[in-house]
Chains A and B, each alone.
Chain A
Amino acid sequence: GAVVSQHPSWVICKSGTSVKIECRSLDFQATTMFWYRQFPKQSLMLMATSNEGSKATYEQGVEKDKFLINHASLTLSTLTVTSAHPEDSSFYICSAPTSGKRETQYFGPGTRLLVL
């Protein structure tokens, strides 16, 4: 299947700092990528849809000024958690549909964020 990578795989930061998470599609181009967060023992919650060349679309209740998304190229989307707080600690996962089968999405390995 298609490969999606994320970097870093985990990060620990102090409260108030900003953290950038990268999502890359390694062997295909993705005009759209999705960002999810997942709390322990819970399912994935869609945060936003990242669109190459245009603004991201945020789900209801997700602060766009706090979770900045930039879809810089057809293979890279970044999520920046600004002024992180302990309640932002979570597992962040991105996904991308391949152009051949847009109805399926391939997920990155996830980034575990711990804010102290």
Chain B
Amino acid sequence: QKEVEQDPGPLSVPEGAIVSLNCTYSNSAFQYFMWYRQYSRKGPELLMYTYSSGNKEDGRFTAQVDKSSKYISLFIRDSQPSDSATYLCAMAKNAGNMLTFGGGTRLMVKP
């Protein structure tokens, strides 16, 4: 069993839809949770960063962490075609430690 599980998709939605991306994990030691966006043939770009449980909002993006369920989510409101990319969740146990990545979910937002 992988430490971090993520549905690979692809997830196809119409423009303007609300997108929900999720990851589950098995190691309760994870405390730092990140979401990265990766366009084709590019390096990952940090989107959201959350420490411990709770919600964090940044523009159209909302990250949720539920440590009791070992479940994290990224919501994208009013999705745009430019949001089409692969979204990777990542987690770390301690500050500065290596990240453990999910497999990535490919999102396609159709105009």
Contacts and interface: CB of A to CB of B under 8 A. Distances in A.
Q: Label chain B's interface by main secondary structure.
A: loop
A106 B49 CA distance: 12
A105 to B, nearest CB: 6
Nearest to A45: B101
Interface residues of B, number: 25
Contact of A105 (B8, B51, B99, B103): B99
Given A102-B96, A103-B51, A43 B103 contact: yes
A106 B34 CA distance: 11
Given A110-B41, A110-B43, A44 B101 contact: yes
Interface in A74-114: 91, 93, 95, 97, 101-110, 112
Interface residues of A, number: 26
Contacts of A6: 43
Interface of B: 8, 32, 34, 36, 41-46, 49, 51, 88, 92, 94-99, 101-104, 106
Interface of A: 1, 4, 6, 32, 34, 41-44, 46, 49, 91, 93, 95, 97, 101-110, 112
